[in-house]
Amino acid sequence: MADAVLKGQVRTQVGKGTAKKLRRQRMIPAVVYGGPSGPMAVTVNPLEMLKLMGTGAGENVLITLSLEGDGERLKTVILKELQRDPVRGEPLHADFLEISMKRKIRVQVPLRIVGEAVGVKLKGGILEQHLREVSVECLPGAIPSHIQVDVGHLDLGHAIHVRELTVGGDIKILEDPARPVVAVLIQRVAAEEVAAAAEEKPGEPEVVGKKESKEGKEGKQEGGKTA
């Protein structure tokens, strides 16, 4: 697990007005949770933060937060939540969790699918992924950037479950062991789908007006002959 340094400042002013002012200065407000003295309001540079998140360690990169104001402070944190502008996608606010390198924490780790399932490649099956990340418990220094899932051996109707995931070291997966991660499904026969669609198709409605008009015409013709 890689770590990196992010500079920030302790802030005493809070509120929407302060947040807008910070964003105009190309900074964003943030809060550090989990410390012995309670939540701490800080300011960070969003561009520098995003650079750290793209170092290859994934979202759980360990960050050494170097804070100025009331003396320099160093805190080891991970990013817990990042709020973005719904339209432009720009960072608006960040929540960090202060951690101890000697105490286990719970984080979400993404799953990375590798290989091509034999049931898909040779038999026309469909690969369906049920889980894209799993919750794990481990020491901060042991957090994996991802967990690899090799699907190459999967045949039609077969699946990989949580209990079959391979993780190294003292890492505990907290998901239900019986929960499926990925499976190869058998494609439906095209003829069955066509038949099902035909059964659901409503019949052509009877045009009452035309029928009555035809019957009335025939009645007039018969009446004319009798006369």
- Residue labelled with tokens 């058998």: 186
Whichever domain contains 166, its CATH number is 2.170.120.20
Tokens standing for residue 227: 């006369």
Identify which of 87, 96, 107 has the alpha carbon closest to the alpha carbon of residue 67. Answer: 96
Residues 45/105, Cβ–Cβ less than 8 Å = no
> Do 89 and 11 fall into the same domain?
yes
> Do 63 and 121 fall into the same domain?
no
> Do 16 and 88 fall into the same domain?
yes
Read off φ and ψ for residue 225, nearest 5 degrees. Answer: -65, -40
Domain-ending residue, one of 99, 127, 160: 99
Is residue 193 assigned to a domain? no
Distance in angstroms (rounded) separating the CA atoms of residues 227 and 223: 6
**Any residues with CB less than 8 A from the CB of 164 and at least 6 apart, and which?**
181
Domain-ending residue, one of 50, 78, 99: 99
Q: How far is CA 211 from the centre of its chain?
A: 59
Q: How much helix, strand and coil, in percent to the nearest 5, is found in the chain?
A: 25, 35, 40
Domain-ending residue, one of 99, 132, 152: 99
* pLDDT at site 213: 45
> Which amino acid makes up residue 212?
E
Q: Could you give the C-alpha distances from 155 to 120, 131, 148, 185, 203, in angstroms and in order?
A: 8, 19, 19, 9, 41
Question: What total of structural domains would you count in the chain?
Answer: 2
pTM for this prediction: 0.72
> Which amino acid makes up residue 59?
E
Element (H or E) spanning 224, and its range? helix 208-226
> Do 121 and 79 fall into the same domain?
no
Q: Could you give the C-alpha distances from 68 to 13, 41, 50, 71, in angstroms and in order?
A: 15, 12, 20, 6
* pLDDT at site 210: 46
Q: What pairing do the DSSP bridges indicate for beta strands 40-44 and 3-10?
A: antiparallel
* pLDDT at site 190: 36
Q: What length does the chain have?
A: 227
Is residue 22 assigned to a domain? yes
Whichever domain contains 73, its CATH number is 2.40.240.10
> Do 84 and 130 fall into the same domain?
no
Is residue 221 assigned to a domain? no
What residue numbers bound the domain in which 95 lies?
3-99
Q: Is 151 helix (H, G, I), strand (E, B) or coil?
A: coil
Give the pLDDT of the chain (227 residues) as one tens digit per residue: 445 899 999 988 778 888 888 888 899 999 999 988 899 999 999 999 988 887 655 678 899 999 987 667 899 999 999 999 999 988 999 999 999 999 999 999 999 999 999 999 999 999 999 999 999 999 999 999 899 999 999 999 999 999 999 998 899 999 999 999 999 999 864 335 446 666 766 555 545 544 444 455 454 455 554 44
Q: Could you give the C-alpha distances from 107 to 9, 57, 59, 179, in angstroms and in order?
A: 26, 13, 10, 18
